[in-house]
Structure 1
Amino acid sequence: MAGITGLTFLVLCLPFVGALAAPILTRILAHNAAWPLALAPGIAFLHFILLLPRIAAGQTVSGGYDWVPGLDLRFSWYLDGLSLTFALLITGIGTLIVLYSGGYLKGHPDQGRFFSFIFLFMGSMLGLVVSDSFLTLFVFWELTSITSFLLIGFDHEREAARRAALQALVVTGGGGLLLLAGLLLVWHATGINQLSALLASGDLMRASPFYLAALILVLGGAFTKSAQFPFHFWLPNAMEAPTPVSAYLHSATMVKAGVYLLLRLNPIMGGTPAWETILPVFGGATLIVGTVLAIRQTDLKLKLAYTTVSSLGLLVMLTGFGADYAIEAAVLYLVAHSLFKGALFMIAGIIDHETGTRDSTGLGGLGAAMPLTFAAALGAAISMGGLPPFFGFLAKEEIYTALAHGNVRSIVFTSVAVIGNALMFAIAFAVGLKPFVGQKVETPKHPHEAPALLWLGPVTLSILGLAAALFSGLTHSFISSPMASAVKGEAAAVSISLVPHPGVPLALSALTIVLGVIVYWQLDRARDLASALLPRLGPGPDRGFDGFVTGLVRMSSLVTRILQPGRLETYVTATFLCLAAILLVPPAVYGEYPALPAWPGHVLWHEAAVFLIAVIGLGAVIATRDRLTAIVSLGIQGFALALIFLLFGAPDLSFTQFMVETLSVVILTLVMTRLQLSPADRRPPAQMLADGAIAIACGLGFTLLLLKATQAPFDGRLSDFFNHYSRLIAHGQNVVNVIIVDFRGTDTLGEVAVVTVTGLAILALIRVRAGGARKLVDNDPDRAEERG
């Protein structure tokens, strides 16, 4: 078992190794880099294939490494039927995508960078689905958002690509913060931060008073990631990415991360009225919205993108429906969708690559020129349409078996599923059949069959969709049943096959096909109807996002103008006001004022002289109107304090104080000579009164704080520790020096670095300002004349 755990860790690292190797191999091998690069996900896929018998037998594979043991933080992974299925989809389809990208982006100057991004995303998604600890889950969750941002914005010179990437990052990144809050709340409520331990905790989370709050936060993360209504708008916009990205991220991997999270948490948070209400309602709404918007499109990729939205909605609806066979249906449909949608996206890319267009109204008769692509497209469309003998048929039959019951709730959601599936049927054949049949249409490029790197992916996925249905017994034994068991939290056996079983589900399938054929036959009319209807419903969430971002920017500008006006005086005033409030408000609220100190009975003349010097210096600072005199007078306070330290037996501290005050006066004086400031303080009396009040408040606050601290019982444990170990460990007689240099040496180094950087920054600003002033003088003709 230890060997498998170690090997699994190495396999999880393979995509990141591929990301490092991609630019080098692309530079060396040019157009042939795809084949060796595909070995990384291919080896990982083979490893996960070999784990199928172990997982099918009910075992799991787990491992991890401690990060902060004291806080119970680990980087850990956990493989069961659910995570293993996702791992197979990520690495298997990822292998095909790497090969497809080699053909699609052949000759692209940034192909190496693209491969690196793909591998980084692959590793992030793989880490997400095998994560066990909350820490690992969240880290990889956010990494998928960041890497998808890089992939969507790959063509960064186009404004549309930059906008789509930013939009995806904002929506999914914001959802990630909600997820983080939800996971922390679950951890707080249960005391558990490992998913595998939570799966065995039964009703612990469901019984918690924090359940509803945690559920809403977790759903916020899942719904944004999986593009549920009203957050669905980012996914179609992400089609600005190159087609390999669409085929990988937005059909088989990233967009299913939210669905994966819901399936994973089903044994932990599912089965409640809130779960079985929120998920079906939002999932059903997303299903209908996605299919209606898909009917409106003419771009092949956008058609597929919106049906991906609807398919994700169907998966969410099934996950939360709560009826028998609903989880089994979700499992079957998730696998089927990954196969046929990945294939159809690649086919859309092939059509665009070989004809120069993706507009379905300008395509037709491509079957003769692209027979292999046509065969793969037709197979994927049949599976998406839910027709035998492909795996999509099994998924659709199981969906209707789960939904079709006699109560009102079941009838409503069954109707939603029938309408959504019928529209998806029409769109499937609008993409996989319509461009290849009928009269040949002239295209920008002369169509011909794609090279092997392009057609290998869709052909393989279509064949897998057929084989999975023909050999459904094996598929269920190794994939469907273990996955359903992991999602349900108990043993589940999936047994549906291609043999038709007369009944309500089969009748609903037939109804779906009839409706789908009608919509496909009247596709142009349906498109016109959707185009006329949708604008009447309002601007939509996509424009709402633009309005939100615009409002956020304006609000940020307003807040910045108020809080950051660019005046140092304002910043200093605000800082000291906050400091005075922190020092004075708590004692007033809690009545924690210190007792007044007793006046000493006898004061030595030299002690009184020191205090008198300090008072004289303070008076000089207040009375003088000249800045330079005020700076010098200010040093008198520090020298008086240094004398007090000296009188009370702290010569090293006194020496430090003398040095600090001397350097402060010198530095401030030098700065004054370099800055163009008026030599005198010309503040009006009202401002001087306000500044004086703030200064007195801060001084009073520090006085109260010090009095309160000195009146508390003295705890000498820390002093004893340093007195003992300064000599024993650091071999130093001066305890203060030992503390500064040894015990907190890194802190001291940081302070020195901060002071150095600050000094350099100030010096740079002074030089810039001086240079700017000289430039103004040089550009002033009157002054130039004077110099001449």
Structure 2
Amino acid sequence: MTIFLFVILSSFLFALILFGLGQQKFQRMTWVASLLPISLFLYFSSFVSPIINGEVFTFFTKWVPSLGINLDFRLDNLAILFTLLITGVGSIVFLYTTQYLKGHPKILRFYTFLTIFMGAMIGLVTSNNIITLFIFWELTSISSFYLISFNNTQAESRKSAIIALSITGLGGLALLAFAVLAGQITGTLSISEMLQSSEVFENHEVSALLMVFIFLAAFTKSAQFPFHFWLPGAMKAPTPVSTYLHSATMVKAGIYLLLRFTPHFQNNSYFFTVLLIVGGITMLYAAFQTLFKTDLKGILAYSTIGALGIMVFLIGIGTTASITAAIVFIVVHALYKACLFLVTGTIDHQAGTRDITKLGGLRKVLLPLSIAGFIAAFSSGGFPPTIGFIGKDLIYEATLHGGMNPVFLTTIAVLTNILMVFAGLVVGVKPFTGKQPEELGRVKKPHFLLWLMPMLLATLSLLFGIFPGMIESLFTHNITPDLTGEESPHLAIWHGFNLIILLSSITIIAGLAVYFLWKPSYKKESSMIKFNAFSPKRLALVFANQFERISYFLTRFFQNGYLRRYVMIILVLLTLVFGIHIFINPRIFLSLKEIKALNWNEIVVLAMMLVSVLFTVFTKSRLSAIAGMGVLGYTMCFIFVFYGAPDLAMTQFSIDTLTVILFVLVLYRLPKYLKLSNRTNRIRDGIIATSFGTFLAFTIIEIMNENPVKATSEFYAEYAYKLAKGKNVVNVILVDFRGFDTMIEIVVLSIAAIGVFALLKLYLKKHEK
């Protein structure tokens, strides 16, 4: 456990070490940052063989056991898939960044947040406690905020980061609600134990609410319609960020969450229906948007949303074949999308533009990069012999045997994949083919890491396509049975001539036709602007602006800077609370027999209290009002003495004396006489004060009628002398049982006294001059 906990926390420790190196020293050794993801990849790779053979590794240590929150980690077949993607793609991105951001003045900050993000993702996918999963989930949102806003001098980058944090933060709140509610239902916060309580989960009266929460969490994180709009905006980040966050890590967190909790809802048709509808809308809408984008990263952004929609769509089908297709497609997408992002980054780095209308013929200078781009584009489009071809065939196999209107499901899948073929070819092929524009004649060969890293990803797409058994033995053979209870279909590059091969051929041919016939342009892109008024992003921004205006109005109304307004609002609220409680559940009874006769000294004190109150309220002099309040406080001291509480009387006397002195010092420089407010305000204040006092009195009477719980007082009375050797119970409580609390109170009062003394000295020095 100690080793694994160190591995989980190593990213955060390593980030501190990097930050401690300093900018200048780190600039000379940026390669050091890549050692961590490479080491973590090798470490997690050592678990692959045992996990293939059915082993599950658990790591547990107590954290907050009283709340059921523990550092509980589980490395199983689903977790190992994501950890290998996180650390494997992370290693490539870390190495690539050493040259992409070489010499950048903020490269140390970049690597620090990237390392924190990687650690948060590893913790997220390995957590076996739903609360720790939530904590890591939020860490990914926070660290991604800093990565997206890396170019913080640009207003668009800051705005995009805020939007991304707002949307994913909303999902984080939903995940927390899901965690708390699920923990209450199942009686545990352990995810593996929750999975054993799926029947309780499904039959509970709030199971629908649980689905809403998990949908909000997954859809916001994985950019599903209508929450998708944060992801295109996140393209303002440097390309390594886009590569890492949007191919293998952050956007896959929602997919991971759905896969992890799918067994909970196996018998709930609504769960799968919602995923099917939302995933279908997302993938078709996003794929269609790629037709109108001219920026390479913009095309990749919407094709990423489309791919995430495909994954949700496949999970929504809910069959063994569809879950297998989703798992394979996670790997397929991570490889080709990370490669295309890196290809785009290198093009932008060397050519200084990502505008597809200005790019062409770069194969002459960037030949190795063009090869990587071609392979990634073919994998994106499902061309053989890439792993994308197998992934696409699995999609069609899932839709054809999906049970719910297979013709309709297959049609949507084919249309989406045709457009995905187009998007992949535009990004991975078009910049390298055709005639090279004159303005690109200055393009030079990049550093070898800027083409070697995407080439490595492209090679893996080919390798897994030619040898699909590697994917099958590593992942699908183990993960699918856990999620569906059935064995996954056999992966192969050729199953003979059948309907699936026909659909794949139609997809490729139609995609090629769209690519050659449809030319992206500014005119086509601008034609879509008129629809922005109805876009989810526009509606969300309108809502945010209205919310801000309402919040500003309420803040200025309730917090206008005047203490009297604050006191009035507090008293009105308390009066409403007391009043509603008393009217709904009146339990006021005062027995006159139990009220003992008043002594003459008590009558005198009460009369003094009444006179001092009336005097304070109606006097026009500030100093007279302070004196009246002082008299009221001193009369309270007599009440405490009469009823056997001399220690409280001493405390009250000290507080009132200091309060009067403080008031005199503060109000010394104010006008001697009050400028009374108008008659309406005085009537209003009188009504509020009288109402508050009346309802407070009723509440006190109600409390007096309740049977007191004496367990606490009996404990202190019994153990005051035994444990603290003191006979004054109040003093023992203050000094021993609540010693730290009393100490802090003394510290606060001391600080306040020092502050008052400093102000007095300042005032005296000013007059001495």
Q: TM-score scaled by structure 2? A: 0.94
Q: Deviations over 1:105-143 (max 9, x none)?
A: 000111110000100110111111111111011111111
Equivalent position amino acid for 1:704 in 2: F
Equivalent position amino acid for 2:571 in 1: F
Cα distance in 1, alignment partners of residues 45 and 618 from structure 2: 85
Query: Is the alpha carbon distance of 1:602 and 1:223 closer, same or farther for their aligned partners in structure 2, counting shifts above 3 Å?
Result: closer
Task: Report deviation, 1:342.
Answer: 0.4
Query: Is the alpha carbon distance of 1:690 and 1:125 closer, same or farther for their aligned partners in structure 2, counting shifts above 3 Å?
Result: same
Report the equivalent of 1:510: 505
Report the equivalent of 1:375: 371
Equivalent position amino acid for 2:723 in 1: I
Task: Report deviation, 1:173.
Answer: 0.5
Indicate the SS of the match to 2:385.
Answer: coil
Task: Report deviation, 1:399.
Answer: 0.7
Query: Is the alpha carbon distance of 1:301 and 1:443 closer, same or farther for their aligned partners in structure 2, counting shifts above 3 Å?
Result: farther
Match of 1:659 among 637, 654, 659: 654
Identity in percent: 36
The answer as to whether partners of 1:357 and 1:443 remain within 8 angstroms in 2 is no
Task: Report deviation, 1:690.
Answer: 3.1
Cα distance in 2, alignment partners of residues 713 and 186 from structure 1: 36
Match of 1:497 among 492, 504, 525: 492
Cα distance in 2, alignment partners of residues 474 and 638 from structure 1: 83
Indicate the SS of the match to 2:61.
Answer: strand
Matches within 5 A, 1:650-729: 650-674=645-669, 676-677=670-671, 679-680=673-674, 682-729=676-723
The answer as to whether partners of 1:344 and 1:381 remain within 8 angstroms in 2 is yes
Cα distance in 2, alignment partners of residues 405 and 724 from structure 1: 73
Equivalent position amino acid for 1:234 in 2: W
Cα distance in 2, alignment partners of residues 86 and 737 from structure 1: 58
The answer as to whether partners of 1:519 and 1:526 remain within 8 angstroms in 2 is no
Query: Is the alpha carbon distance of 1:763 and 1:460 closer, same or farther for their aligned partners in structure 2, counting shifts above 3 Å?
Result: farther
Cα distance in 1, alignment partners of residues 628 and 524 from structure 2: 83
Query: Is the alpha carbon distance of 1:669 and 1:193 closer, same or farther for their aligned partners in structure 2, counting shifts above 3 Å?
Result: same
Report the equivalent of 2:477: 481
Report the equivalent of 2:557: 562
Report the equivalent of 2:438: 442
Equivalent position amino acid for 1:83 in 2: A
Equivalent position amino acid for 1:166 in 2: I
Query: Is the alpha carbon distance of 1:26 and 1:611 closer, same or farther for their aligned partners in structure 2, counting shifts above 3 Å?
Result: closer
Per mean C-alpha deviation after superposition, the further-off stretch among 311-320 and 191-200 is 191-200
Per mean C-alpha deviation after superposition, the further-off stretch among 267-276 and 159-168 is 267-276
Report the equivalent of 2:726: 732
The answer as to whether partners of 2:294 and 2:525 remain within 8 angstroms in 1 is no
Report the equivalent of 1:780: none
Task: Report deviation, 1:714.
Answer: 4.8
Query: Is the alpha carbon distance of 1:539 and 1:644 closer, same or farther for their aligned partners in structure 2, counting shifts above 3 Å?
Result: closer
Task: Report deviation, 1:634.
Answer: 1.6
User: Are 1:263 and 2:262 counterparts?
Assistant: no
Report the equivalent of 2:92: 96
Report the equivalent of 1:572: 567
Query: Is the alpha carbon distance of 1:767 and 1:633 closer, same or farther for their aligned partners in structure 2, counting shifts above 3 Å?
Result: same
Equivalent position amino acid for 2:663 in 1: L
The answer as to whether partners of 1:354 and 1:445 remain within 8 angstroms in 2 is no
Q: Deviations over 1:308-329 (max 9, x none)?
A: 0000000000011123400011
The answer as to whether partners of 1:83 and 1:129 remain within 8 angstroms in 2 is yes
Query: Is the alpha carbon distance of 1:371 and 1:31 closer, same or farther for their aligned partners in structure 2, counting shifts above 3 Å?
Result: farther
Cα distance in 2, alignment partners of residues 601 and 82 from structure 1: 74
Task: Report deviation, 1:104.
Answer: 0.6
Report the equivalent of 1:333: 329
User: Are 1:627 and 2:627 counterparts?
Assistant: no
Q: Deviations over 1:330-389 (max 9, x none)?
A: 111110100110011001000111111111111111112111111111111111111111
Task: Report deviation, 1:590.
Answer: 1.4
Equivalent position amino acid for 1:241 in 2: A
Indicate the SS of the match to 2:74.
Answer: strand
Per mean C-alpha deviation after superposition, the further-off stretch among 466-475 and 660-669 is 466-475
Query: Is the alpha carbon distance of 1:714 and 1:19 closer, same or farther for their aligned partners in structure 2, counting shifts above 3 Å?
Result: closer
The answer as to whether partners of 2:60 and 2:71 remain within 8 angstroms in 1 is yes
Per mean C-alpha deviation after superposition, the further-off stretch among 377-386 and 182-191 is 182-191
Indicate the SS of the match to 2:592.
Answer: coil
Report the equivalent of 1:70: 66
Task: Report deviation, 1:167.
Answer: 0.6
Indicate the SS of the match to 1:67.
Answer: strand
User: Are 1:194 and 2:190 counterparts?
Assistant: yes
Task: Report deviation, 1:487.
Answer: 3.2
The answer as to whether partners of 2:335 and 2:458 remain within 8 angstroms in 1 is yes
Indicate the SS of the match to 1:66.
Answer: strand
Match of 2:10 among 5, 10, 14: 14
Q: Deviations over 1:653-710 (max 9, x none)?
A: 2211111111111111111114x35622513344333323332333333333334444
User: Are 1:595 and 2:594 counterparts?
Assistant: no
Match of 2:632 among 621, 637, 640: 637
Query: Is the alpha carbon distance of 1:715 and 1:120 closer, same or farther for their aligned partners in structure 2, counting shifts above 3 Å?
Result: closer
Cα distance in 1, alignment partners of residues 672 and 283 from structure 2: 70
The answer as to whether partners of 1:12 and 1:44 remain within 8 angstroms in 2 is no
Cα distance in 2, alignment partners of residues 267 and 700 from structure 1: 57
Equivalent position amino acid for 1:396 in 2: K
Report the equivalent of 1:748: 742
Equivalent position amino acid for 1:440 in 2: Q
The answer as to whether partners of 2:69 and 2:132 remain within 8 angstroms in 1 is no
Query: Is the alpha carbon distance of 1:86 and 1:503 closer, same or farther for their aligned partners in structure 2, counting shifts above 3 Å?
Result: same
Query: Is the alpha carbon distance of 1:579 and 1:31 closer, same or farther for their aligned partners in structure 2, counting shifts above 3 Å?
Result: closer
Equivalent position amino acid for 1:99 in 2: L
Cα distance in 1, alignment partners of residues 573 and 349 from structure 2: 62
Task: Report deviation, 1:24.
Answer: 3.8
The answer as to whether partners of 1:62 and 1:77 remain within 8 angstroms in 2 is yes
Task: Report deviation, 1:191.
Answer: 2.5
Per mean C-alpha deviation after superposition, the further-off stretch among 609-618 and 100-109 is 609-618
Equivalent position amino acid for 1:109 in 2: P
Report the equivalent of 2:242: 246
Query: Is the alpha carbon distance of 1:768 and 1:390 closer, same or farther for their aligned partners in structure 2, counting shifts above 3 Å?
Result: farther
Indicate the SS of the match to 1:637.
Answer: helix
Task: Report deviation, 1:496.
Answer: 1.5
Task: Report deviation, 1:278.
Answer: 1.0
Report the equivalent of 1:356: 352
Indicate the SS of the match to 1:729.
Answer: helix
Cα distance in 2, alignment partners of residues 486 and 406 from structure 1: 19
Cα distance in 1, alignment partners of residues 567 and 665 from structure 2: 21
Q: TM-score scaled by structure 1? A: 0.92
Task: Report deviation, 1:567.
Answer: 2.5
Task: Report deviation, 1:539.
Answer: 4.0
Per mean C-alpha deviation after superposition, the further-off stretch among 226-235 and 755-764 is 755-764
Q: Give unpaired runs (5+ residues) of structure 2.
A: none
Per mean C-alpha deviation after superposition, the further-off stretch among 246-255 and 6-15 is 6-15
Cα distance in 2, alignment partners of residues 719 and 134 from structure 1: 39
Matches within 5 A, 1:163-178: 163-178=159-174
The answer as to whether partners of 1:371 and 1:449 remain within 8 angstroms in 2 is no
Match of 2:382 among 376, 382, 386: 386
Indicate the SS of the match to 1:591.
Answer: coil
User: Are 1:214 and 2:210 counterparts?
Assistant: yes
Equivalent position amino acid for 1:624 in 2: T
Task: Report deviation, 1:461.
Answer: 0.9
Match of 1:614 among 609, 613, 621: 609
Per mean C-alpha deviation after superposition, the further-off stretch among 69-78 and 689-698 is 689-698
Q: Deviations over 1:525-557 (max 9, x none)?
A: 798667546735744222223222211211111
Report the equivalent of 2:200: 204
Query: Is the alpha carbon distance of 1:724 and 1:448 closer, same or farther for their aligned partners in structure 2, counting shifts above 3 Å?
Result: same
Query: Is the alpha carbon distance of 1:725 and 1:449 closer, same or farther for their aligned partners in structure 2, counting shifts above 3 Å?
Result: same
Across the aligned residues of Structure 1 and Structure 2, the Cα RMSD in angstroms comes to 2.7
